[in-house]
């Protein structure tokens, strides 16, 4: 069953206010309504997908397709409630619209979530069912990997739909090296703006997380002459970084307070919060982690303290830019040249932020909106 909601039902928030004694999860199930949902932001379409045979329960949210068909990963997560799943789908799909617009892609924003445990509930039947739901949208949404979803899972979906991205035979493969390259170019833009430095040579960069992105980022930074301070929960990878890059290792707690030119979070979300803000001793925060600001007020606080923040969805767009080049003609050099433009986009955001006195994350949102809102698209085409 594919249920697409096109008309409002009851106001979810009002129902909760009027019935504080009712069970929240039961309310979620009974009153979930995308139009009055706090995360609803003019989304074009929200599809609720149910397949009895495989047990698939999923939501596909298409936020905006003004620039082109929506692209966005699929997240598999054991959400505590249907409302949590809807919240994620609405929020993440909106984020993809902004990300694609600032990456200069002719793509819109979409995202899907599968409600379930990625460790125990995966099956070919389930992913093929998901593929059929994606196919039924006729290309308005293309699916790719995200948390809990591997390349192999997307390949199973691809048996039912051509609207998939991020699989090796489509050319681009693992997005992490291109994401890391984009972060490296973003750090260069940030230090040019804030420290008036044309390269990272001689600068000290604190990297949190030495996974797929963090490790590749360290290689770029080290090759360019940066001094590295690193941390991870995995001691083996730390030892490897000390040996390979001459990095200084610190504990996971100590990374926030180190004196450095750049703090590059490449592990966790919500890393800029009340606790860490007090500790930071850097002029620049620029890394790959998604959703770095615990709340918008933390972005405002960074701005007030004179810490230049490279908005996460701009600096970590290298992977999606690379994927946009997929196909039989895939040319890595061309794709990476496109990724390098993150440098200039961030430069423009930093200048706008300075000129208007607004925090960088807000300046980024405004620039993205200029690039995907129908009014501005029409006037720039005229």
Centre a 10 Å sphere on the Cβ of residue 91 and count the other Cβ atoms it contains: 17
CB nearer ligand NAD, residue 313 or residue 350: 313
Helix (H/G/I), strand (E/B), else coil: 141: strand
**152 contacts ligand NAD (rule: CB under 6 A):** no
Q: Which two three-digit tokens encode residue 141?
A: 């949404």
CB of 231 to ligand NAD, least distance (A): 5
**247 contacts ligand NAD (rule: CB under 6 A):** no
8 A C-beta contact, residue 310 and residue 189: yes
Nearest to 302 by CA among 360, 350, 257: 360
Stretch near ligand NAD under the rule CB under 6 A, chosen from 77-85, 175-183, 219-227, 341-349: 175-183
Q: Which two three-digit tokens encode residue 155?
A: 């390949």
- Residues that are catalytic: 111
Q: Which two three-digit tokens encode residue 156?
A: 């199973």
**167 contacts ligand NAD (rule: CB under 6 A):** no
**60 contacts ligand NAD (rule: CB under 6 A):** no
**124 contacts ligand NAD (rule: CB under 6 A):** no
Write the binding mask 176 to 195 for ligand NAD: x where contact by CB under 6 A, - elsewhere. x--x----------------
> Can you tell me which of 229, 267, 272, 323 binds ligand NAD, judged by CB under 6 A?
267
CB of 103 to ligand NAD, least distance (A): 11
Q: Residue 42 region, left (φ>0) first, then alpha (ψ -120 to 50), else beta?
A: left
Question: How much helix, strand and coil, in percent to the nearest 5, is found in the chain?
Answer: 45, 15, 35
Tell me whether strands 141-145 and 108-115 are parallel, antiparallel or unpaired. unpaired
Buried b (16+ CB within 10 A) or exposed e, 196-227: eeeebeebbbbbbbbebbbbbbbbbbbebebb
**252 contacts ligand NAD (rule: CB under 6 A):** yes
Of all residues in the shown chain, the one whose CB is closest to ligand NAD is 211
CB nearer ligand NAD, residue 32 or residue 321: 321
Scanning 137-211, the segments in alpha helix (DSSP H) are: 151-157, 176-195
Buried b (16+ CB within 10 A) or exposed e, 12-30: beebeeeeeeeeeeebbee
Total site size for ligand NAD, rule CB under 6 A: 25
CB nearer ligand NAD, residue 140 or residue 343: 343
**345 contacts ligand NAD (rule: CB under 6 A):** no
Stretch near ligand NAD under the rule CB under 6 A, chosen from 67-75, 209-217, 338-346, 360-368: 209-217
8 A C-beta contact, residue 336 and residue 319: no
**324 contacts ligand NAD (rule: CB under 6 A):** no
8 A C-beta contact, residue 293 and residue 239: no
CB nearer ligand NAD, residue 27 or residue 332: 332
- Binders of ligand NAD among 284-303, rule CB under 6 A? 288-290
Phi, psi dihedral angles at 356 (to 5 degrees) = -95, -10
Cβ-proximal residues to 30 (8 Å cutoff; 6+ apart), any chain: none
> Can you tell me which of 64, 112, 208, 362 binds ligand NAD, judged by CB under 6 A?
208
CB of 328 to ligand NAD, least distance (A): 23
CB nearer ligand NAD, residue 138 or residue 269: 269
Question: Which residues are at the interface with ligand NAD (CB under 6 A)?
Answer: 175-176, 179, 208-214, 231-234, 237, 252, 266-269, 288-290, 316, 319
């Amino acid at each position: 069953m594919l249920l697409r909601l096109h008309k409002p039902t009851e106001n979810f928030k009002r129902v909760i206010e009027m019935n504080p004694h009712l069970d929240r999860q039961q309310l979620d199930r009974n009153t979930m309504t995308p139009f009055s949902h706090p995360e609803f932001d003019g989304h074009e379409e929200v599809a609720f997908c149910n397949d009895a045979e495989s047990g698939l329960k999923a939501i596909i949210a298409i936020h905006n397709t003004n620039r082109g068909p929506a692209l966005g990963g699929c997240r598999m997560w054991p959400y505590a409630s249907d409302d949590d799943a809807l919240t994620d789908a609405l929020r993440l799909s909106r984020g993809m619209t902004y990300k694609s617009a600032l990456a200069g892609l002719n793509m819109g924003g979409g995202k899907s979530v599968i409600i379930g445990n990625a460790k125990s509930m995966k099956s070919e039947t389930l992913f093929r069912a998901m593929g059929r739901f994606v196919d039924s949208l006729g290309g308005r949404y293309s699916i790719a990997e995200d948390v809990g979803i591997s390349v192999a899972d997307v390949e199973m979906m691809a048996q039912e739909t051509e609207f998939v991205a991020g699989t090796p035979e489509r050319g681009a493969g693992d997005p992490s090296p291109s994401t890391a390259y984009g972060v490296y170019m973003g750090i260069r833009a940030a230090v040019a703006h804030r420290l008036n430095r044309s390269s990272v040579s001689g600068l000290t960069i604190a990297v949190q997380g030495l996974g797929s992105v963090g490790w590749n980022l360290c290689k770029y930074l080290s090759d360019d002459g940066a001094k590295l301070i690193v941390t991870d929960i995995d001691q083996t990878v730390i030892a490897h970084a000390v040996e390979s890059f001459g990095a200084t290792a610190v504990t996971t707690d100590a990374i926030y307070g180190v004196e450095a030119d750049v703090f590059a979070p490449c592990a966790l979300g919500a890393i800029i919060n009340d606790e860490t803000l007090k500790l930071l001793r850097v002029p620049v925060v620029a890394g790959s982690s998604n959703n770095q600001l615990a709340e918008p007020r933390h972005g405002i606080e960074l701005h007030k303290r004179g810490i230049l923040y490279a908005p996460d969805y701009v600096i970590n767009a290298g992977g999606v830019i690379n994927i946009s080049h997929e196909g039989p003609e895939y040319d890595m050099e061309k794709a990476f040249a496109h990724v390098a433009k993150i440098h200039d986009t961030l430069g423009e955001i930093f200048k706008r932020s300075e000129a208007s006195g607004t925090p960088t994350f807000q300046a980024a949102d405004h620039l993205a909106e200029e690039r995907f809102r129908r009014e501005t698209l029409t006037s720039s085409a005229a």
